[in-house]
Chains A and B, each alone.
Chain A
Amino acid sequence: MQQFNLLLASLPDGILLGFVYGLAAMGLTLIWGVMNVINLAHGPIIALGMFSTFFVYSKLGLNPYLGVVPIALLGLLFGILIYAVAVHRVINAPHLSSLLATFSVNMIIIGLGTAALTTSPYNVDFFAGSLQLGSTTLLGTRLIAAFVTLLFTGGLYFFLYRTRPGKHIRAVANNRAAAELMGIPSTRILALSFGLGTMLAAVSGALIATFFPFNILSGGGYELKSFVIGVLGGLGNPIGALFGGLILGMLEGIIPAFLETSWVPVIEFGLFVAILLVRPNGLFGAKK
């Protein structure tokens, strides 16, 4: 009975967290799906999103959610810049080159971030009310984050399936040479895709900032979760990533009711390996 109460308290929390995990993973998996590049700068970009929210809330004194749209735009531009500077030159090279290139970006951001912001924890102490459902308390910040995630997921889906540039992204992901032959400027589309992936990562960071204290290294954990989610949902399938995120969030809500919290990563990565062994295309199918 005590476990059941614990579960009632932690499961909804985990699911709401899962939305944001899904958003972060969507960014990683979009980039992989379009250009077969694993973005190792994913974590630090999430962390930069967190600091952006800190800046909006603590320095500008504004409502942190006012920062979401500007942070998204900055994330888009930052991603395009990373693509132009670091990724484009190795886009046709073997995977190791693009891994090293994005890892370098990762190290640069972490290095500069540590110098400028230290590694002591920052905090966005924002309270957006709470919702009481029986014995379960849902925090307003998490509800808003889940809602923003749904908006971005819907927006991404609409963009990819209903707009011309979005369809161009899918065409380039599907067959880059053919897209080029049809007059689609594939380099520009790749830059746009990298920008979108970075945007999603930055927005997820911006939302997570209101949940937990963070520093410039905090994105690392979410980057690892994004890998697990990406594989769960099928790498290259951004919509599958949302479901993968929800599954992971659910696990994080369920496991602590029965086991020590320290078992969470063990089970998550055990699942990661199991999925890779049994269903390498993910639960919802991946790009071939």
Chain B
Amino acid sequence: MAVLEIRDLVSGYGEVQILWGVSLALQEQKLTCLVGGNGVGKTSMLRTVMGLVRPWSGSVWFEGKDVSRLPAHAKAEMGLTLVPEGRQLFTDMSVEENLEMGATNRRARPKAGRNLERVYAMFPRLKERLGQKAGTLSGGEQQMLAVGRGIMSDPTVLMVDELSLGLSPVLTLQLFESMRQLRDSGITVLLVEQNVHMALAISDYGYVLSEGKVGREGPARQLIKDEHIRSAYLGL
């Protein structure tokens, strides 16, 4: 059974329609990616799934329940977490407080200690910066903190928007590797990426979004060999 299923999702801002019926399903404990170029609606889709943007039609199912109309905080409470594009940290608060805010929901609170150890093990650098204001971290550290904050919410499904944005290739590799670790630890991960090649290379399954709809889908290993994708996104 798919742990998160999106059916025919349609939404937009004001009069402008962005999503034209997106459907996708995340298999439990798999690493799935949604790739596509700039402006095809990837971030809008995530915002609609979380409830920051109201869906015009279609539905979102999480663990078998229709959550389409729930506010974002209620979804976070259930275990559906988004690491938003541009990190969106609490820049005026310390690294430690940011992590603490991640563990807001009632499920995550008792597990905060264990999750904190996971975050430190994954990103030791954060442990050295606990008292520092989040806004003063480097770009890579900020992205680590954003992911760490997401882990603190003890997610069943972790959706990550543009993990690699603005990061050096070395850091990108490290963060992608941490996504695999999260999957291996039992979290279902959705990576939403412009970095098509790397995302497909580490994922189990892939979706290609173009013009507000899912164009192609399949096991990532096959998509990466797909002629159309190679020419459209990989420049091969």
When the two chains form the complex, which single residue of B71, B84, B105 contacts A178, counting CB atoms closer than 8 Å? B84
Is A52 interfacial (CB-CB < 8 Å)? no
Is B172 interfacial (CB-CB < 8 Å)? no
Interface hits, A233-248 → B, CB 8 Å: none
A177 to B91 alpha-carbon distance, docked (Å): 13
* Additional A-B contacts beyond A167-B101, A181-B73 (13; CB < 8 A): A167-B93, A170-B93, A174-B91, A178-B89, A179-B73, A180-B71, A181-B82, A181-B84, A182-B73, A183-B76, A184-B104, A185-B71, A186-B73
Is A135 interfacial (CB-CB < 8 Å)? no
Is B50 interfacial (CB-CB < 8 Å)? yes
Instruction: List 12 A-B pairs, Cβ < 8 Å.
Output: A167-B100, A170-B97, A177-B88, A181-B50, A181-B84, A183-B73, A183-B77, A183-B153, A184-B101, A185-B71, A185-B73, A186-B73
Residues of B within 8 A of A183 (CB): 73, 76-77, 104-105, 108, 153
Is B11 interfacial (CB-CB < 8 Å)? no
A54 to B102 alpha-carbon distance, docked (Å): 46
Q: Mark A178-205, 1 if CB is under 8 A from B, else 0.
A: 1111111110000000000000000000
- Least CB separation from B46: chain A residue: A181
Q: Mark B69-88, 1 if CB is under 8 A from A, else 0.
A: 00111001100011010001
- Least CB separation from B102: chain A residue: A182
Count of inter-chain pairs, beta carbons less than 8 A = 68
Residues of A within 8 A of B72 (CB): 177, 180-181
Residues of B within 8 A of A262 (CB): none
Q: Mark A42-81, 1 if CB is under 8 A from B, else 0.
A: 0000000000000000000000000000000000000000
- Least CB separation from B152: chain A residue: A182
When the two chains form the complex, which single residue of A175, A180, A185, A287 contacts B90, counting CB atoms closer than 8 Å? A175
Instruction: List A residues at the B interface (Cβ < 8 Å).
Output: 167-168, 170-171, 174-175, 177-186, 287
A183 to B72 alpha-carbon distance, docked (Å): 7
A184 to B149 alpha-carbon distance, docked (Å): 13
Is B2 interfacial (CB-CB < 8 Å)? no
In contact, B81 and A181 (Cβ under 8 angstroms): yes
In contact, B90 and A174 (Cβ under 8 angstroms): yes
- Least CB separation from A189: chain B residue: B73
A243 to chain B: closest CB distance in Å?
A: 19
Is B52 interfacial (CB-CB < 8 Å)? yes
- Least CB separation from A170: chain B residue: B93
Q: Which 6 A-B pairs have the closest CB atoms?
A: A183-B76, A183-B105, A178-B88, A180-B72, A174-B90, A183-B104
- Least CB separation from B97: chain A residue: A167
A92 to chain B: closest CB distance in Å?
A: 12
In contact, B52 and A177 (Cβ under 8 angstroms): yes
A150 to chain B: closest CB distance in Å?
A: 24
Residues of B within 8 A of A168 (CB): 101, 104
Is B92 interfacial (CB-CB < 8 Å)? yes
Residues of A within 8 A of B90 (CB): 170-171, 174-175, 178-179
Residues of A within 8 A of B81 (CB): 181
A58 to chain B: closest CB distance in Å?
A: 45
A220 to B89 alpha-carbon distance, docked (Å): 38
Asked whether A182 and B92 contact (CB < 8 A) given A167-B97, A171-B101, A177-B84, the answer is no
- Least CB separation from A173: chain B residue: B92
Chain B CB within 10 A, most for which of A174, A179, A287: A174
In contact, B84 and A179 (Cβ under 8 angstroms): no
When the two chains form the complex, which single residue of A174, A175, A180 contacts B73, counting CB atoms closer than 8 Å? A180
Residues of B within 8 A of A184 (CB): 73, 101, 104
When the two chains form the complex, which single residue of B52, B91, B101 contacts A182, counting CB atoms closer than 8 Å? B101
In contact, A182 and B89 (Cβ under 8 angstroms): no
When the two chains form the complex, which single residue of B52, B77, B82, B93 contacts A171, counting CB atoms closer than 8 Å? B93
Residues of B within 8 A of A287 (CB): 92
Residues of A within 8 A of B149 (CB): 182
A170 to B153 alpha-carbon distance, docked (Å): 18
A235 to B91 alpha-carbon distance, docked (Å): 17
In contact, A170 and B104 (Cβ under 8 angstroms): no
Residues of B within 8 A of A179 (CB): 73, 90, 101
B77 to chain A: closest CB distance in Å?
A: 5
B49 to chain A: closest CB distance in Å?
A: 11
A182 to B91 alpha-carbon distance, docked (Å): 15
B153 to chain A: closest CB distance in Å?
A: 6
A183 to B103 alpha-carbon distance, docked (Å): 9
A168 to chain B: closest CB distance in Å?
A: 7
In contact, B93 and A174 (Cβ under 8 angstroms): yes
A162 to B77 alpha-carbon distance, docked (Å): 22
In contact, B92 and A174 (Cβ under 8 angstroms): yes
A168 to B105 alpha-carbon distance, docked (Å): 12
In contact, B88 and A175 (Cβ under 8 angstroms): yes
Q: Mark B151-187, 1 if CB is under 8 A from A, else 0.
A: 0010000000000000000000000000000000000
